[in-house]
Amino acid sequence: MLTRRQFLASSAIGAATLLVWPRLTFAATGSDTRFLFVFLRGGLDGLESVPPYGDPGYQAIRGALALSPSAAKPAHRLDNVFALHPSFAHAARLYAQGQFMPVVAAAPPYWGRSHFQAQNCVENGTGKPDGAQTGWLNRCLACMPGVDGLACAPVMPLTMRGPARVEAWSPPLPTDVNPILLQRLQPLYAADPRLAGTFVRAVARRQDSGIARSGTGMAPGGTDAHAGRTRGGLPLMMGAAGDFMGRTDGPRVAFVEDEGWDTHANEAFIVTRKIAELDAGLQAFQHAIGPTWGRTVLVVATEFGRTAHINGTGGTDHGSGGSMFLAGGALRGGRVLGKWPGISAGELYQGRDVHATTDFRSVFKGVLAAHLGVPGSLLESRVFPGSAAAEPIEGLLSTARAAA
């Protein structure tokens, strides 16, 4: 008999909706809302993702990486100061609907430039990289009786480690095998009487299933035949999270991670591709979660921003202040959140980075309190201990959601 973990590991995305989650105790947690945290590992450049084109110092300091609504490939104008990267096509539509909101000049309490220490700080929810051995999102779940969590990641991330119950899901391993490798393996298996027959049958099933022709269990053209999603990467993971969370008895709290956001060289190309993946992920998640989108808030964060100046290889190095993003049908979006410090020479942190003015924890605390109903006393004492200075940001939910 398959174990639950074996079932999850071997099931395709389309079968994900067959998973039965325990019934939720809504009375103990406020209401039937959903929260997704998307963590971008590597350090997304806030000046590229949310270009402050209206800042007098922006064009001079960014040079070839500068973006604006009037460029040949225009950024999506948000107001007189800020825009969204051109690859944020779906996010721009959500912004116009009041369901997307960037946060500028944001950072965790750790302002160093180590990927690992910054990620640990973001995930453990304290003021230091080694401040806790458990994750803030798991501790949040522990404050919500009867609610389980879901981590869409190859291994359990620190964010979700702790006493609360969390299921892990990751997509099945690729099923395509190089035919040359099969040819070389065939005589080895043929020499073993116990494995020869199994090998022949496996190859035959592979050929009959069409995997040898398409190289994947998905339909031609890069979409999942069952759900119509873009193939692979962040769109796949966010779509899977939406599949699970869209069920009436699905998980209310989930985590998705993605890598590849470090841009020391050739940043324009990398950021364009990666933001397009994130944008497709937002669309896949919204489509998969269905009507539950109206009761959902998701937060996208990265461990730090990048330097304001471009380096000699067309990239940027590790910085401090960066950007966060909020989205969802329950959000009061359509605005840019955060106090902008400016990027003229005298306004940069240590003469090189955007000076962070918003603590990540203020955003998380505002969402968890208003959207998931976690009491402020527990946010201070258990979820984000030692965060009294990071006051929760209020007014993040739409008027309709707040009145519900």
Residues 243-257 have pLDDT tens digits of 999 998 899 999 999
Q: What residues pair up with 152 in beta bridges, in sequence order?
A: 169, 256
286 and 389 in a single domain? The answer is yes
**Higher-scoring residue by pLDDT: 189, 272:** 272
Chain segment 59-98, per-residue pLDDT in tens: 999 999 999 999 999 999 999 999 999 999 999 999 999 9
Stretch (H or E) spanning 301 = strand 296-302
Taking each helix axis from N to C terminus, what angle separates 267-289 and 233-245, rounded to the nearest 10 degrees?
20
Q: Look at residues 215, 245, 273 and tell me which one is the last residue of a structural domain.
A: 215
Q: What angle do CA 313, 319, 321 make, to 5 degrees?
A: 135
328 and 384 in a single domain? The answer is yes
- Tell me whether strands 296-302 and 322-327 are parallel, antiparallel or unpaired: antiparallel
| pLDDT for residue 43 | 96
Q: What residues pair up with 301 in beta bridges, in sequence order?
A: 39
Q: How far apart are CA 234 and CA 44, in angstroms?
A: 15
337 and 287 in a single domain? The answer is yes
The verdict on residue 276 lying in a domain is yes
Q: Is 167 helix (H, G, I), strand (E, B) or coil?
A: strand
The verdict on residue 10 lying in a domain is no
The verdict on residue 52 lying in a domain is yes
CA dist 63 → 48, 53, 312, 343 (Å): 12, 12, 12, 13
Q: In the chain, how many domains are there?
A: 2
54 and 128 in a single domain? The answer is yes
| pLDDT for residue 2 | 37
Q: Look at residues 215, 246, 275 and tell me which one is the last residue of a structural domain.
A: 215
Position 331, amino acid: L
182 and 235 in a single domain? The answer is no
28 and 162 in a single domain? The answer is yes
The verdict on residue 99 lying in a domain is yes
235 and 188 in a single domain? The answer is no
Stretch (H or E) spanning 201 = helix 196-209
Contact between 48 and 271 (Cβ < 8 Å)? yes
Chain segment 328-345, per-residue pLDDT in tens: 999 999 999 999 999 988
The pair phi, psi for residue 338, each rounded to 5°, is 110, 150
Contact between 241 and 206 (Cβ < 8 Å)? no
Q: What is the pLDDT confidence band of residue 203, given thresholds at 50, 70 and 90? A: low
Residue 195 DSSP one-character state: T
Number of helices and strands (H, E) in the chain?
15, 10
371 and 246 in a single domain? The answer is yes
The verdict on residue 209 lying in a domain is yes
Q: Where are the alpha helices (DSSP H) in 210-344?
A: 211-214, 233-245, 267-289
Q: How far apart are CA 34 and CA 262, in angstroms?
A: 29
79 and 181 in a single domain? The answer is no
294 and 196 in a single domain? The answer is no
Whether residue 271 has pLDDT greater than 90: yes
Q: What is the CATH classification number for the domain harbouring 136? A: 3.40.720
The verdict on residue 285 lying in a domain is yes
For the whole model, what pTM was predicted? 0.81
105 and 241 in a single domain? The answer is yes
The verdict on residue 19 lying in a domain is no
73 and 163 in a single domain? The answer is yes
Q: Can you read off the two tokens belonging to residue 307?
A: 């330097």
The verdict on residue 6 lying in a domain is no
Q: Look at residues 189, 215, 241 and tell me which one is the last residue of a structural domain.
A: 215
Expressed as residue numbers, the domain containing 182 is 175-215
